[in-house]
Amino acid sequence: MSLNEKLPPCPVETTLMLMGDKWKVLIVRDLLTGTKRFGELKKSLNGISQKVLTSHLRIMEKNGLITRKVYPQVPPKVEYTLTEVGQSLKQVHDAMLDWGSVYKLKYSTRTSMV
Amino acid sequence: MSLNEKLPPCPVETTLMLMGDKWKVLIVRDLLTGTKRFGELKKSLNGISQKVLTSHLRIMEKNGLITRKVYPQVPPKVEYTLTEVGQSLKQVHDAMLDWGSVYKLKYSTRTSMV
DNA sequence: CGGGATCCACAAGGATACTG
DNA sequence: CAGTATCCTTGTGGATCCCG
C-alpha cells in the first residue's frame, strides 16, 4: 500500500488503510510498551511468520508509524520503535482494549452465541 | 467465526476477532448514524458485493452487534440496527476517526512517502 | 429487494531453505 | 539474528444466476 495514492475522504477509511489489519494492530500493541527487537515481536505475535512480520514492519515504516534501527553487529540486532504518529495510535488501541474488555464481561458467561 | 471458541485472553484480540475487518468497521460507521436497509448499506459501502455484505451482517448479528428486522412484504424490506453493544463501538470508531484525521493533516502536504 | 448457491480468481499468509 | 527468496496452500471476496 503506497501513500502515493490519494487518501480516502473518510478519515476512518484512512485509518483502515494504514491499520486495517490484525497484525498491524498487534504490532502497535507490543510497541506501545516500548522498543522491541525483531525476535521479540515475532515471539509475542503468536504464530506470525517472519515474512509477514517483515513486510508489515516495512509498510508501517514507510507510512511513518515506526522507525527501524539497525545495529551493525554480528549477529544482527534490529530494533523497532513507534514514531510520534505511531504512539498516537494509543487512543485507538485503548478504545479497542476497553471495548474488548466490556464485550468479554458481557458474554463470557454464555457458552454459545449461535 | 463462532464465539463458541474461547475468546482470546487479550481484549484487543477479542476486538480484532469481532471487528478486525475493514467492512465490519465501515458497516458500524454507517449504522452509527441510524438504522439502515440492506440496499442503503450496499450503496454506501462502495464496492462491496452482496454476498460479502450479507455474510458480515450475519456474523455481526450472531455476535450481538446488530439486529436484523425483516418486514414481511413484497418486495422484501430488511433493516439493520446496532445493538447496545454495537453502539458502544462508537468509542473505537471515533478514535479511528480522530487518528485518521490527524494523520491526513500531517501527511496531506506530501506527495510521496516512499 | 434481499439473499441463497456456485464458481472462480487472486492475493495474503505459511513453510522452508539459504545468507550476511 | 534478521532477514530474502521461493513455493505452495488457503480463504476471502467478486461475479453471476436464480428465487420468494
Q: At residue B5, does pLDDT exceed 80?
A: no
Q: How far is A75 from chain B (nearest CA, A)?
A: 29
Q: Do A16 and B99 touch (CB under 8 A)?
A: no
For residues A64 and B113, the answer to whether their CB atoms sit within 8 Å is yes
- Judge whether residue B4 has pLDDT over 90: no
Q: Is the pLDDT of residue A10 over 60?
A: yes
| Residues of chain B above pLDDT 90, percent | 82
Which bases in strand D are touched by protein, i.e. have an atom under 7 Å from a CB? 1-6, 13-17, 20
Give the domain extent around A71.
11-108
Inside any domain, residue A2:
no
Residue A31's domain is classified under what CATH number? 1.10.10.10
Please, what's the largest Cα pairwise distance for chain B? 54
Q: Which helix (H) or strand (E) holds A95?
A: helix A90-107
- What confidence category does residue B110 fall into, taking pLDDT thresholds of 50, 70 and 90? low
More confident residue, B5 or B59: B59
The residues in A 31-90 lying below 8 A from B, measured between CB atoms, are 62-64, 85, 88-89
Count of domains in chain B? 1
Non-local CB neighbours of B108 within 8 Å, separated by 6+ positions:
A7
**Following CA atoms A13, B99, B89, B8 in sequence, which dihedral angle do they give, to the nearest 10 degrees?**
90
The three three-digit cell numbers of residue B102, written as one number: 490527524
What span, in angstroms and rounded, lies between the C-alpha atoms of B29 and B87? Answer: 10
Q: Residue A7's pLDDT is what? A: 81
* DSSP single-letter state for residue A46: T
Whether A5 is in a domain gets the answer: no
- Residue B100 near chain A (CB below 8 Å): yes
Q: Is the pLDDT of residue A4 over 60?
A: no
Instruction: Flag whether A104 is in a domain.
Output: yes
For residue B1, being part of any structural domain is answered with no
- In-domain check, residue A54: yes
CA distance A54 to chain B (A): 17
pLDDT 10s digits, B19-73? 999 999 999 999 999 999 999 999 999 889 999 999 999 999 999 999 999 999 9
Query: Is the shortest CB-to-strand distance from A23 to strand D under 7 Å?
Result: no
Statement: residue A6 has pLDDT above 60:
yes
C-beta within 7 A of nucleic chain D, residues 44-103 of B: 47-52, 55-56, 75-76
In this predicted model, which residue has the larger pLDDT, B47 or A12?
Answer: A12
Closest in A88, A99, A111 to B91, CB measured = A99
